[in-house]
Structure 1
């Protein structure tokens, strides 16, 4: 090993002691196992590339030389030469008894843990402390390299709070590590995460799962609430699951911090290359003005010309227009694009975070429910924009129309695994149904065959003439693969309480106008509103964000009083109001049963469980703390809390924000079966089409009922987007 050590020092004079001992330890512990130079390259090639920036072929030659030195040290080379020179053949002194050898081998099988891996003596292992120090240095260098990537990645907030109780583990191999080789040619943009586990607390969400993301494809991640979709995105973005370090990942999860930077400049600031080129251009311009026509000025001019060429290739001049177009599509007017980021509410800052992500174009973009913060017009724009997304997209969404429009593939979480399907959600639904039907048919056919064969065995078990046939049938049964029946996911059912009918008039708005007093903009949000509703009403209110939809709901429920006009409400009308922030206002420290007890004391526990069971919160789920529930499960608890007061008119503001597709479908059916009135603010096109019979459009200072319903409204929006 001394000769190998001197050779490594001569080829890599800058190698530090820790890395040198790490490499030497690997060579020493595995010197008898290496069969060719490629195996040595797999073991230490990555470390050698980190020490010195040598081409791959040169490092491979060094590894070949190390292999020859190791063989010389073992005496294999000399011994083989002697045998060749002397021509000596080894003669057995006694015959070999193969039977006894087989018995000996069989006795040793128990000592072998795997065909491929055998245990070694601890003395042959690498020093753990040295290995840890060497790997820590490698990690520091890797983090330093990653730190030089775009500002979009660096400005992404830490995910530590969101995954403080989550964990991930992944089996890796030497082949995986070669993807990270600095001097290697493997710079693929495809992502393969194999055999990984994800847990949240004591609960295992994914086990032995595989995830493959091909570059340039758009993946929709779907599955029931609470299965770990959001947790998986956080694990990927926080680098808890291994992906190649050259792939830039951006997860849109937290809103942009508010400061004096304008919305437009905040988006432009994501492009680090643009910022660097503009800064260098300004420095060179100032230096040239200072140097004048001297020789130094000529060299500066040449460098400035190179900067201009780089700016042309990077299309720096087109960046402001592209950023402005993205902001405009997400609802930022030209005037608002000049506002400082601190002037926007949380919802608008989330839109700004989405705009920054779309502008920076990371290699892998992770979106978690991007439509939650958008109105219908912005959703239609985003759908169209993402259809031409150039890199890889992984999006969690429960908007059925969005999933039918954007994804090229669907990833389905079920049974702690990820199933991959080609096509949009509609194609996925058909393929999944057919696959489940075929699986069930195959299981039933096998069960019928088993029963038929078993009947033959039972009938002729004690018949000596049929003994050979019976044994043959028994062996056939043993060889049959064990198929499992298709486990259907439990159907989601939501049930609103039964209510008594009321005689009209139920709800009337007469010449209602409203404005907020004491604010800078004292103009009316809407004026002259004349609308009516009954217990048979299924009304949806649509309009751009900020048009006054939520304000109108608060006037209807009596939370706000109109500035002008009157609201007539039946004296026995009882509203159930579900606000956008209803879920966030729940007491997260208690379980669902305790929450209902605190708000409606005096009822038996069975009654609280019945209320929760009406919205799919049953069993142990009702006894978990609300903080541990998924977003959709919290929404169901909020529904149960709202309905515990037995309302006969539901006013729902964005109720689908955290619900999965099956729950949204169940909500639509439940609202259709409900005997009371419904006024709904939603951007989920499928729910609107399922439930609503009347469309109120809020915008341009008024609220009016639109003839033609949602189809007519969508046509108007599409014309505006085309213009």
Structure 2
């Protein structure tokens, strides 16, 4: 159990945690949310022991192993599999124990060390490490490549795999999805759903949080508020709480005003002076309800793009890729034919490394096609958001300088639109509308956070009033509130959108058509995101089976591998058996969820009734019913958890059985 008692944590002059109390139980799956800069990462550092509380007490069980993703990018000649394998601290301890016993020639200690190795799963540790790498998107041929042969993003995936390799009681993940594509993200969700330890994760991905968490902690103004349920449930609860708080504040303000009017009217009257003094004391004793001060997200708004060329882009047998240092062509996606039309909203799917970003750069004119012809419609205005903002921003320039340069270039090209101005005050006003006010408009980009740079890149896009938006991972550094503001703006945008993103909530709200990049080809994907997730899971299953078959053939070449027909038959039998076992639990689970919803709604109604009731009898009756509802709610919640655990146990057992079969 994790316990925080009256904890205060400061970072410089800023109070990150202010008298926080919190209890988390073993096995809890917790999402930590809040605006950027509120101190979420500092809380994780406190639990890791890297920071120490200024007041209060933080208590974790002494025997717990804590795993987290190291933020430094490794630079090592060590093979990828060995690097991940080293994350299994329990196995490393057993191996060190064996080496020490063998050096001392102690037979009993050697036997105990071998037992420890068996308990640590030494027999299949290498296969588990490789399974993690494959799940996170590495190819089979890359499993033994040295770490320093990979790019920074792929090395961060290795750090994530290394953290998952650790047999942890507490797993702390800070934005684990930042370096993942949708393929790896879906796999990670499944892995975390099966994880049996305690999980505390920071993420700005709504669907990821909904999939892996069951408790939400909201950090705001140094206070930590606990909500039961995943992120979407938290959002609904918080909205209701804010409405109730605002109503309570309004009622209290009305009462305060009434008391003050009485005091001002009668304090000088001898016959009423005592009553006036009594009301003054009541005002002084009153515990004030704070008004609701909701964090305001930036409001993005794309102007009407006006007349658009049709088609916008036409591709004639285009091959996209890059040229190496010797100017040799390195094609990635070949034979692209087709057009981009006004009003289309296209999501580009595919694993990292398959060419999504290269395709978008080519469409944006940042890279020339290696082969073929790309025709751009006359007068087309393209807005391009690069995955790495500094590809389009200059670190030494300020937001105002960026916008001034863009305005000058647009004016020089004779392309200024109606309402656009190059006057400094107008440019400052525009930047201020996107939260670059005052000194923020004069801050060098190189000193900005990732979220601020992303916001600036979007601001420059909006000013251009584009016909076509080419967006490559625009939400990587944006918090949830800003992501939702962007999704709302893109939904209302009247031009064309081509979007690369691993944020499924954004893809669902913006895109109605999907392209799939893979195997050197670009083709339409016939389905929605749920279909794509099923496609990814099937691809991952096939890779695991191929790896398992290869390992089995290497270990026992004399044993014939089952035929594909036999394997499909066994899989179908296992699925049917699991479905038969799960069915009664799933029915009860659905009934319990419905009952929980009904009880929660009744509880909220009774709380509102208690707040509004004016007579004692009504309050007493509502209080009695509320107590009964809360008791039943606790009982139903406990049964819901028991049934959910039974379902998870059956699914884990089925997955383990499937992994053990050839």
- Please say whether Structure 1 and Structure 2 have the same fold, judged by a TM-score greater than 0.5: yes
Where 1:431 maps in the other structure, the secondary structure is helix
Aligned to 1:580: 387
Aligned to 1:349: 155
**1:179-215 Cα deviation digits (max 9, x unpaired):** xxxxxxxxxx524264323336x65555555565544
Where 2:337 maps in the other structure, the secondary structure is strand
Could you tell me how far apart the structure 2 residues matched to 1:414 and 1:358 are? 29
5 Å matches for 1:637-656? 637-656=456-475
Q: Could you tell me how far 1:260 is from its partner in structure 2?
A: 2.2
Aligned to 2:403: 596
Alpha carbons 1:583, 1:638 under 8 Å: kept: no
Confirm or deny that 1:239 pairs with 2:56.
no
Confirm or deny that 1:274 pairs with 2:84.
no
Alpha carbons 1:263, 1:339 under 8 Å: kept: yes
2:11 equivalent among 196, 199, 215: 199
Where 1:540 maps in the other structure, the secondary structure is strand
**1:98-117 Cα deviation digits (max 9, x unpaired):** xxxxxxxxxxxxxxxxxxxx
Alpha carbons 2:42, 2:51 under 8 Å: kept: no
Q: Could you tell me how far 1:566 is from its partner in structure 2?
A: 2.1
Confirm or deny that 1:715 pairs with 2:522.
no
Alpha carbons 1:192, 1:213 under 8 Å: kept: no
Answer with 250-259 or 479-488: which moved more.
250-259
Could you tell me how far apart the structure 2 residues matched to 1:591 and 1:367 are? 33
Q: Could you tell me how far 1:382 is from its partner in structure 2?
A: 0.8
Alpha carbons 1:225, 1:631 under 8 Å: kept: no
Where 1:387 maps in the other structure, the secondary structure is helix
Could you tell me how far apart the structure 1 residues matched to 2:46 and 2:367 are? 43
Assess, with a 3 A threshold, how the Cα gap between structure 1 residues 276 and 409 changes in structure 2: closer, same or farther: closer
Q: Could you tell me how far 1:665 is from its partner in structure 2?
A: 1.0
Confirm or deny that 1:447 pairs with 2:259.
no
Where 1:393 maps in the other structure, the secondary structure is strand
Alpha carbons 1:494, 1:616 under 8 Å: kept: no
Answer with 548-557 or 209-218: which moved more.
209-218
Confirm or deny that 1:487 pairs with 2:306.
no
Alpha carbons 1:253, 1:367 under 8 Å: kept: no
Q: Could you tell me how far 1:395 is from its partner in structure 2?
A: 1.9
1:264 equivalent among 72, 81, 91: 81
5 Å matches for 1:176-215? 189-192=1-4, 194-199=6-11, 205-209=16-20, 212-215=23-26
Confirm or deny that 1:659 pairs with 2:506.
no
Aligned to 1:542: 349
Could you tell me how far apart the structure 2 residues matched to 1:205 and 1:312 are? 44
Structure 1 segments unaligned to the other structure (5+ residues): 1-188, 288-295
Where 2:289 maps in the other structure, the secondary structure is coil
5 Å matches for 1:53-452? 189-192=1-4, 194-199=6-11, 205-209=16-20, 212-234=23-45, 237=48, 239-242=50-53, 243=58, 246=62, 248-278=65-95, 281=98, 300-452=106-258
1:612 equivalent among 419, 424, 431: 431
Where 1:385 maps in the other structure, the secondary structure is helix
Where 2:216 maps in the other structure, the secondary structure is strand
TM-score (norm 2): 0.72
Alpha carbons 2:381, 2:468 under 8 Å: kept: yes
Could you tell me how far apart the structure 2 residues matched to 1:220 and 1:199 are? 22
Q: Could you tell me how far 1:608 is from its partner in structure 2?
A: 2.6
Could you tell me how far apart the structure 1 residues matched to 2:43 and 2:537 are? 34
Where 2:362 maps in the other structure, the secondary structure is helix
Alpha carbons 2:348, 2:514 under 8 Å: kept: yes
Assess, with a 3 A threshold, how the Cα gap between structure 1 residues 464 and 396 changes in structure 2: closer, same or farther: same
Assess, with a 3 A threshold, how the Cα gap between structure 1 residues 419 and 589 changes in structure 2: closer, same or farther: farther
Assess, with a 3 A threshold, how the Cα gap between structure 1 residues 234 and 301 changes in structure 2: closer, same or farther: closer
Q: Could you tell me how far 1:681 is from its partner in structure 2?
A: 0.4
1:705 equivalent among 514, 524, 544: 524
**1:297-339 Cα deviation digits (max 9, x unpaired):** xx74444322222222222112122212211211123222121
Could you tell me how far apart the structure 2 residues matched to 1:259 and 1:471 are? 76
**1:68-122 Cα deviation digits (max 9, x unpaired):** xxxxxxxxxxxxxxxxxxxxxxxxxxxxxxxxxxxxxxxxxxxxxxxxxxxxxxx
Aligned to 1:566: 373
Could you tell me how far apart the structure 1 residues matched to 2:253 and 2:323 are? 73
Assess, with a 3 A threshold, how the Cα gap between structure 1 residues 600 and 207 changes in structure 2: closer, same or farther: farther
Structure 2 segments unaligned to the other structure (5+ residues): 412-421, 543-662
Could you tell me how far apart the structure 1 residues matched to 2:318 and 2:398 are? 42
Could you tell me how far apart the structure 2 residues matched to 1:606 and 1:528 are? 48
Aligned to 2:617: none
Please report the RMSD computed on the Cα atoms of aligned residues, expressed in angstroms: 3.1
**1:632-665 Cα deviation digits (max 9, x unpaired):** 1221012223444453321111000001111111
5 Å matches for 1:504-519? 504-517=310-323
Q: Could you tell me how far 1:457 is from its partner in structure 2?
A: 4.5
TM-score (norm 1): 0.66
Q: Could you tell me how far 1:218 is from its partner in structure 2?
A: 2.6
Q: Could you tell me how far 1:265 is from its partner in structure 2?
A: 0.7
Q: Could you tell me how far 1:370 is from its partner in structure 2?
A: 1.2
Alpha carbons 1:496, 1:614 under 8 Å: kept: no
Q: Could you tell me how far 1:540 is from its partner in structure 2?
A: 0.9
Q: Could you tell me how far 1:483 is from its partner in structure 2?
A: 2.1
Q: Could you tell me how far 1:463 is from its partner in structure 2?
A: 5.4
Assess, with a 3 A threshold, how the Cα gap between structure 1 residues 530 and 548 changes in structure 2: closer, same or farther: same
Could you tell me how far apart the structure 1 residues matched to 2:259 and 2:46 are? 49
Could you tell me how far apart the structure 1 residues matched to 2:469 and 2:247 are? 44
Q: Could you tell me how far 1:679 is from its partner in structure 2?
A: 0.9
Aligned to 2:440: 621
Where 2:227 maps in the other structure, the secondary structure is strand
Where 1:428 maps in the other structure, the secondary structure is helix
Aligned to 1:673: 492
**1:213-241 Cα deviation digits (max 9, x unpaired):** 54432322212233333454456546222
